[in-house]
Amino acid sequence: MQNYDFLGSVTFILIAVNVVVSLLALYWNPNIIDKGFLKPYRVVRENTWYELLTSGFLHANFTHLFINMFTLYFFGQVMERVIGPTYFAGLFLSGLIVSGIPSLIKYRDNPNYATLGASGAVGSVLFAFILLFPLESIYLFLIPVPIPAFVFGILYLIYSMYESKKDVGKINHEAHTAGSIWGMLYLLIFVPNTVDHILTVFGLL
């Protein structure tokens, strides 16, 4: 395997663009947020479909940005090395689009609804990792206990689906769920040898 150059990686580029665009929007020109976030009511009436992508490079606040980029930093590097930069770029960008579709459908008639953030795409990267490395340990903030990746994945999906049905708060749980599921489907559909890898992990091949 070739040496991994983080500064020349797709992961670094995605993090850099997210940080620069989000900070500019938060602290310099708020109009960037107004133009770029995903507003389903506007999308279906004005055909601003680009919002499915641009909304993923904007964040509500610095904490929102930090958590997403922190997660992308660790899991993005692994996935980029395993599946290659081209497939990895496809995973992230398609994750942005797919994770926004449930909100687009659900809130297409709500003129007051808007959402933003890379969480859906980051979820795609995280769950792609979980699919390939289900027995690896994952550590959560403030919980210094290792959790098997597949256990975390199951609990995360249950929580996201439950919260989505409650439909309260500002967190886009539909995007989290859709992005996570898409991360696994993307590998199975587009990335060669994914099934063989999974079978090998469980000693079935």
Q: What pLDDT shows up at residue 142?
A: 61
Q: What is the mean pLDDT of the chain?
A: 92
Q: What is the mean pLDDT of residues 84-91?
A: 97
Mean of the pLDDT values across residues 178-201?
93
CA distance 98 to 119: 12
**Amino acid in the structure at residue 170:** K
What is the per-residue pLDDT across 137-186, written as a single tens digit (0 to 9) for each?
Answer: 988 766 678 899 999 999 999 999 988 887 666 788 899 999 999 999 99
**pLDDT above 60 (res 2):** no
Radius of gyration of the chain (CA): 17
Comparing 199 with 117, the larger pLDDT belongs to 117
pTM given for the model = 0.93
At 68 the pLDDT is 96
CA distance linking residue 124 with residue 85, whole number of Å: 15
Cβ neighbors of 164 (< 8 A, separation 6 or more) are 173, 174, 177
Q: How confident is the model over 21-76, as pLDDT tens digits?
A: 999 999 999 999 999 999 999 999 999 999 999 999 999 999 999 999 999 999 99
Q: Which CATH architecture has domain 6-201?
A: Up-down Bundle (1.20)
- How many angstroms separate the CA atoms of 31 and 71, rounded? 27
Instruction: State how far the Cα of 26 lies from the Cα of 147, in Å rounded to an integer.
Output: 34
State how far the alpha carbon of 16 is from the alpha carbons of 8, 57, 137, 139, in Å.
11, 10, 27, 24
Domain boundaries in the chain? 6-201
